[in-house]
Amino acid sequence: MYFKDKIIWITGASSGIGAELAKQLAILEAKLILTARNESALLTVQKNCLQYTACCTILPADVCSADTIEVLVQHAIAAYGNIDIVIHSAGITQRSLAINTDMSVYRQLMEVNFFAPAAITKYLLPHFKEKNSGHIVVIGSMAGLMGFPMRTGYAAAKHAVKGFFETLQVEHTIPGLYITIVSPGRIKTPISLSALTANGSPHNKMDAGQLNGIPVVVCAQKIMKGIEQKRKHIIIARGERILYWLWWYCPPLYYRIARKKGMR
């Protein structure tokens, strides 16, 4: 019942975690606004959602277009005249060693994973302040809590995400605003296909780690439970949870295992 009639804007809704959240939230009759670049993929997700909910709007956009983000946010608010929850799921990962990686790849990873959710949030804050309520959910990563090979830029961007949204939680200028940071380990989605390689071209491969990842349905269910419980931080991981534990309590073992694991 919690999500019924809630107005929820999901970025990265054309695929993976964002698309699965859209479907499960539609089943609970939320009112959805879906954003991503691929309009035809968004239309497919929308069609699926409209089987369950009466309200599902698409707002195709590149969240990295800094000049148009403010307008994008205004359009999202205008869709139903309000936003209750925003879920920042748009993201792109990396598969390249630091020594080979072009600086342009780092900039691209920072744009989509960090600057986009930061800018959207900044332009949404006045809306949340006006009504003294709202919920911001950001999909970070276990790579935002510790290092992981082949992901220097991705891990840097996700660490920045954690820093930004955790600080927003601490600033607490809007009493009715909740912030949930989600840190998934490997989830079974096509994310490794679009991962940026050293020169910015897509990796185009489903990695074994991705294929054997946590089912996306389970990931979406855990995110929704966390939102409902207004959790500040959710970790959704199997092996990475143990790695993180080692990072805290047995760093030498963490470095040995993470080096090997991350290369696969």
Ligand X SMILES: NC(=O)c1ccc[n+]([C@@H]2O[C@H](COP(=O)([O-])OP(=O)(O)OC[C@H]3O[C@@H](n4cnc5c(N)ncnc54)[C@H](OP(=O)(O)O)[C@@H]3O)[C@@H](O)[C@H]2O)c1
Which residues are known catalytic residues?
154
Q: List all residues 6 or more positions away from 55 whose beta carbon is below 8 Å from its beta carbon.
A: 31, 32, 80
**Residue (of 80, 75, 87, 207) closest to 138 by Cα position:** 87
**Among positions 89, 94, 121, 197, the unique one binding ligand X when judged by CB under 6 A:** 89
Q: What is the dihedral of CA 16, 133, 47, 89, to 10 degrees?
A: -20
Beta strand 31-35 with 214-215 is unpaired
Q: How far is the CB of 36 from ligand X (least distance, A)?
A: 3
Binding status of residue 10 toward ligand X by CB under 6 A: no
Looking at the Cβ atoms of 77 and 138, the one nearer to ligand X is 138
Q: Which stretch binds ligand X (CB under 6 A): 15-23, 69-77, 99-107, 129-137?
A: 15-23
- What is the C-alpha separation between 155 and 146, in angstroms, rounded? 8
Residues in contact with ligand X, shown as a per-residue x/- string from 92 to 111 under the rule CB under 6 A: xx------------------
Site string for ligand X, 189-208 (x = CB under 6 A): xxx--x--------------
Report if residue 221 touches ligand X, rule: CB under 6 A.
no
Interaction between residue 41 and ligand X (CB under 6 A): yes
Q: Which of residues 53-82 bind ligand X (CB under 6 A)?
A: 62-64
Region class of 237: left (phi > 0), else alpha (psi between -120 and 50), else beta: beta
Q: Does residue 184 bind ligand X (CB under 6 A)?
A: yes
- What number of chain residues touch ligand X (CB under 6 A)? 31
Candidates 30, 34, 36, 105; binder of ligand X (CB under 6 A) is: 36
Contact between 90 and ligand X per CB under 6 A? yes
Q: Is 30 or 64 the residue whose CB approaches ligand X more closely?
A: 64
How far is residue 140's CA from residue 181's CA, in Å, rounded to a whole number? 6
Instruction: By CB under 6 A, name the one of 17, 56, 136, 243 that touches ligand X.
Output: 17
Angle subtended by helix axes 251-262 and 239-249, to nearest 10:
150
User: Tokens for 52?
Assistant: 């369950």
Consecutive H or E run containing 250: none
Three-class secondary structure of residue 46 per DSSP: helix
Q: Which residues would be at the binding site for ligand X (CB under 6 A)?
A: 11-18, 36-38, 41, 62-64, 89-93, 112, 139, 141, 184, 186-187, 189-191, 194, 213
